Structure 1
Amino acid sequence: MKKKKLSIVLALVMLSTVVLAACGSSSNSNNDSSNQAKQLVAEIGPNPETIDPALNSAVDGGNMILFTFECLLSVDKDNKIIPGAAESYDVSADGLTWTFHLRKDLKWSDGSALTANDFVYSWKRVADPKTAAPYAETVLGMVKGFADVAKGNVDSLGVAAPDDSTFVVTLASPCAYFDKLAAFATLSPVNKATIEKNGDSWATSPEAYIGNGPFIIKEWVPSSYILFEKNQNYYAKDSIKLDSIKLLLMEDANASYGAYQTGEAMMVKDVPTAEVPTLKTNPDFHIDPLLGTYYIDLNDSLPQFSNSKVRQALSLAVDRSYVANTLMQGTFSPATNFIGTGVADWDGSSFMKNANGGKPYIDNTTYEANLAKAKQLLTEAGYPDGKGLPAITYSINDASYHKVVAQYLQEAWKKLGVTVNVDVVEWASFTPMRRAGNYEASRDGWLFDYNDASNMLDLMVSTNGNNNAKYNNPAYDTLMKKAANEVDAKTRSGYLHQAEDLMMSDAAVIPVAYYNEFYLQSPKITGSWHSPYGYWYFQYADITQ
């Protein structure tokens, strides 16, 4: 993703406050009476980096996109694939042709017709290198012609609309999880007319933000709130019980916690870690498992991190049990592998348990031995006691547990003789900075988009748009390419395990902990659910007294 282009978009967001609602539409009332609109007020993050489906790579932005767009397929509360904009689909015997049959009379939120050609346009836009979509290779790399798109021939992508209600995708190789990709926010349909008319600003102003999901954006006040209202042109509008969703845009966990305490918000994602011990007995406090890993990027393109022994040393010096169980109050679990708990292998067993011959890559029970090994590796790399290694600037966004971990790293890496300076960056600027490689070391994390180990291992492919660590190993790329082209599930799994072996031995990144989601939510919210991918499905919620 191009940082300059994003900066322009963000500037437009921050400089403009668009208020289009009728009087009283931004009321905080959650009253369930028949005479009053139902509004759910929640906090799931600060100002989003972007809510353009093609450009977004963050969970908070993805959650907002789920409210306003609907893909070909969708996901239910049991994380099973269900119909979305497509009421059904067929897959050819060889697994290469996927034919989606759209619902009749689909409409955009402005009332204009939505057809299969809109999906053709949208998917080609994601694939187009000019868009710089970070997920392009991940979600479309298996589609026939994708390699030619990179050479400038966008029309070579294997997508077609034989009629207004039929969308056909031709794959270069079978993809067992392609149904999950068809339900992933990046591949939402976007409105060509509004994009051509408004350019980058289409995704920053409510009147230009035309979608096809259950809600529209009615108001957007940067650093304050985004107001979503029911889309009257949504085909299933009668099943949507809420009139509006108001998302408070907060970066400070203490502020969001305060909003919950005062009743301003009925749900908050960001809770100060210091409050966790007392909140564990509160029935409103939830800790849900997530599929994902919290890790540290060392910018591998920089000379000081080009030696894998330096990266390995910095990794071994981290006491993950202390970080997860003490600093994070047990809301995270200490990491031993890159691919964590809950991720399925080819036969439904645990990918993590099958990795590395059944042994953890990192033994968290032997921290003192790990630290001794770290000091030895740093000496072998030419930096005995850290001498000669430049001070490290560690970048984080402003969230309480990121700060706690950063402070810990200052102490942990000091044991190696390494100095750490902490740089706190506003969230809206943080992810584009990291993606562009304008950092030295940085906190990072990934929540799975679908339950397949490749979703996270793909991050380390040199050409992947989400490869923030700038890891570049041709042998790794080859293994991942073999996995992508392999039809046999067991053989494919073998390539993926070899890839994890390689990136862990290289210390491509530093896995720290496995995510759990902890949050506060009022029992008055019914009908919604929280997925292991980190999304709240409030579009299906109701509010009771």
Structure 2
Amino acid sequence: MKRRLSILLALIMVAAMVLGACGKSDNNSGSNNGNSGKNNTSDNSGDGGSSTGGKEKQLIAEIGPNPETIDPALNSAVDGGNMLLFAFDCLLNVDKDNKIIPGAAEKYETSKDGLKWTFYLRKDLKWSDGSPLTAKDFVYSWKRVADPATAAPYSETVLGMVKGYDKAAKGDVDALAVSAPDDTTFVVELSHPCVYFDKLAAFATLSPVNQATIEKNGDSWATKPESYIGNGPFYIKEWVPSSYILFAKNENYRDKDSIKLDSIKLLLMEDPNAAYSAYNKQDSESPLMIKDVPTAEIPSLSGNPEFHIEPLLGTYYVDLNNTLPQFSDSKVRQALSLAIDRKYVAETLMQGTYTAATNFVGTSVADWDGSAFMANANGGKPYINNDDYEGNLAKAKQLLADAGYPDGKGFPVIKYSINDAGYHKVVAQYLQQAWKKLGITVNVDVVEWASFTPMRRAGDYESSRDGWVFDYNDASNILDLMVSTNGNNNAKYSNPAYDELMQKAAVEKDAKTRSGYLHKAEDLVMSDTAVIPIAYYNEFYLQSPKVTGSWHSPYGYWYFQYADITE
């Protein structure tokens, strides 16, 4: 990944004559009103602006449009997850080196067999409204994630290894083996060891949530400032949909003295051109950071110290709804995959800001011994030979004919769904051309972001763009998506052999043997073409040098809660 980034600017200059479309955002979605801040005892109103002279220290940034949800149990998008980092404090946290550090728990211990994890909470923890937070709140919150009535998309991923989860997922929530012997002790019993369980304890889905406000406000608790109670360094003071969310410093946060900002104002913008224009105004209301940079501007930003390109652990791919008859044959799915010239997509259409994919798991993902998972996949050979597009296309045509659709005859028109951001539109236009070579017609369906992810998760689509940025560095994090019961299995792929391999990997104690199961699982994903990998992500964004002390993680998050602003 680092070597690819070293040649990235050269690739951008080669692509300087190519006009992109939109900006780079793999968005998040959205919710409701507010202007009270009643859930916090402090009032950090200030008078706005992103400079410091006599005014409140406010960081203005753009990380996406209206979020679909910022309920920790329901969010499955990167920008919503970023907002959760500001508002909540998990048992454990992640530092700038992506190492696990204490969070709401000051320490933890595991039993020798790895089946019992005991977290010791800091004393006198409080919610943003000043009420006490205890270990019982974590019991409630984790059981809520397991509860099928919540319909948490990450439920099985983050709690599937906890003892009693199978029963909890069927409605017997109290079967989940989490307990609070006292106010500062939280105990989790596992049904089998999980080598990355500390990373799960730091994952936003398992944030503590306030039972009282949820029971009082129902599903709307996470849609308005007055009921959105958290325990993180900031709380939501104002929320104007399609305009901004204002996070103010939480005076009840356990480590408030380390927080230098008075507030973080997130501009809710879906148009990257508008975000870019606002950034360049450089006035008191301008963002000091924007995630969504218009792709057409990338060549001109070469050499600009405010333009950042950093690696992400993630894969951009296409979902084919496996439940539909036209996509039920793996030969059809493989034909559609092989008809795509990934090098052209990544290096020309995406201007070298992404890397052509050859597998599903992607680059920089570690294997059991610290080596690259990709290097050990498929006998060391790429699943897709991106250097022989003409050969791939010929094979694609033959596969489609073998499936009963010679030259695409009889194959129905494909509706390909996207949200209007990043490279999605230009890639969609390319797929129209690429699949036309098979004799297949594609119609592009542009869906508003707030409706896009729930539509895809419900399987209410034919084909769709998709993508996954890792939550932690383990191949299972993306391979779990293809388990038939996984809440994020948007492709609706179902293969009992695959599920069995992933279950074996989940309970296997020997790291090398576990890795073998994961590699076999990826073999199945690729041979079945469960999804169509297109490219590997990199993150590109603009950020003013006035912002100090923050960092960007390979999981796609900006840690602005520790930032400062200098002149």
TM range (shorter): over 0.9
CA RMSD, Structure 1 to Structure 2 (Å): 1.3
Structure 2: which amino acid aligns with 1:246?
Answer: K
Q: Which of 112, 127, 141 lines up with 2:146 in the alignment?
A: 127
Structure 2: which amino acid aligns with 1:31?
Answer: S
Q: Which of 34, 46, 50 lines up with 1:18 in the alignment?
A: 34
Q: Which of 366, 381, 398 lines up with 2:403 in the alignment?
A: 381
> 1:462: how far off?
0.3
Q: Which of 458, 470, 473 lines up with 2:492 in the alignment?
A: 470
Aligned to 2:554: 532
Rounded Cα–Cα distance in structure 2 between residues aligned with 1:150 and 1:109 = 30
Aligned to 1:79: 98
Structure 2: which amino acid aligns with 1:134?
Answer: P
Cα displacement string for residues 333-386 of structure 1 (whole angstroms, at most 9, x for unaligned residues)? 000010111100000000001000000000100000000000000000001111
Aligned to 1:30: 50
Aligned to 2:112: 93
Q: Percent identity?
A: 78
2:269 corresponds to 1:250: yes
2:224 corresponds to 1:217: no
Aligned to 2:69: 50
Aligned to 2:224: 205
2:132 corresponds to 1:113: yes
> 1:28: how far off?
4.4
2:102 corresponds to 1:103: no
> 1:256: how far off?
1.0
Worse overlay, 128-137 or 260-269: 260-269
1:180 partner SS: helix
Rounded Cα–Cα distance in structure 2 between residues aligned with 1:381 and 1:231 = 60
2:385 corresponds to 1:366: no
Aligned to 1:4: none
Rounded Cα–Cα distance in structure 2 between residues aligned with 1:132 and 1:66 = 21
1:529 partner SS: coil
Aligned to 2:525: 503
TM-score, normalised with respect to structure 2: 0.93
Structure 2: which amino acid aligns with 1:99?
Answer: T
Rounded Cα–Cα distance in structure 2 between residues aligned with 1:356 and 1:26 = 58
Q: Which of 179, 188, 192 lines up with 2:207 in the alignment?
A: 188
**Measured at CA, do residues 315 and 28 of structure 1 come closer, stay the same or move farther in structure 2, by a change above 3 Å?**
farther
Rounded Cα–Cα distance in structure 1 between residues aligned with 2:190 and 2:347 = 44
Rounded Cα–Cα distance in structure 1 between residues aligned with 2:298 and 2:478 = 29
Task: Check whether the contact 2:48–2:56 (CA below 8 A) recurs between aligned residues.
Answer: no
Structure 2: which amino acid aligns with 1:237?
Answer: K
Task: Check whether the contact 1:394–1:420 (CA below 8 A) recurs between aligned residues.
Answer: yes
Task: Check whether the contact 2:47–2:55 (CA below 8 A) recurs between aligned residues.
Answer: no
Task: Check whether the contact 1:298–1:305 (CA below 8 A) recurs between aligned residues.
Answer: yes
Aligned to 1:232: 251
Structure 1: which amino acid aligns with 2:233?
Answer: P
Aligned to 1:422: 444
Aligned to 1:289: 311
Q: Which of 272, 295, 308 lines up with 2:330 in the alignment?
A: 308
Aligned to 1:266: 288
> 1:530: how far off?
0.1
Rounded Cα–Cα distance in structure 2 between residues aligned with 1:350 and 1:114 = 41
> 1:272: how far off?
1.1
2:423 partner SS: helix
Task: Check whether the contact 2:238–2:246 (CA below 8 A) recurs between aligned residues.
Answer: yes
2:101 partner SS: strand
Aligned to 2:168: 149
1:49 partner SS: coil
> 1:186: how far off?
0.1
1:520 partner SS: strand
Within-5 A mapping of 1:435-514: 435-514=457-536
Cα displacement string for residues 454-490 of structure 1 (whole angstroms, at most 9, x for unaligned residues)? 0000000000000000000010000000000111100
Which segments of 5 or more consecutive residues in structure 1 lack a partner in the other structure? 1-9
Which segments of 5 or more consecutive residues in structure 2 lack a partner in the other structure? 1-28
Task: Check whether the contact 1:28–1:41 (CA below 8 A) recurs between aligned residues.
Answer: no
Task: Check whether the contact 1:26–1:227 (CA below 8 A) recurs between aligned residues.
Answer: no
1:19 partner SS: coil
**Measured at CA, do residues 479 and 26 of structure 1 come closer, stay the same or move farther in structure 2, by a change above 3 Å?**
farther
> 1:153: how far off?
1.0
Aligned to 2:366: 344
Aligned to 2:6: none
Aligned to 1:319: 341
Rounded Cα–Cα distance in structure 2 between residues aligned with 1:250 and 1:469 = 28
> 1:316: how far off?
0.3
Structure 2: which amino acid aligns with 1:217?
Answer: I
> 1:23: how far off?
10
Rounded Cα–Cα distance in structure 2 between residues aligned with 1:431 and 1:208 = 24
1:57 partner SS: coil
Rounded Cα–Cα distance in structure 1 between residues aligned with 2:46 and 2:524 = 52
Aligned to 1:6: none
1:207 partner SS: helix
> 1:400: how far off?
3.6
Structure 1: which amino acid aligns with 2:221?
Answer: W
> 1:26: how far off?
7.7
Task: Check whether the contact 1:107–1:234 (CA below 8 A) recurs between aligned residues.
Answer: yes
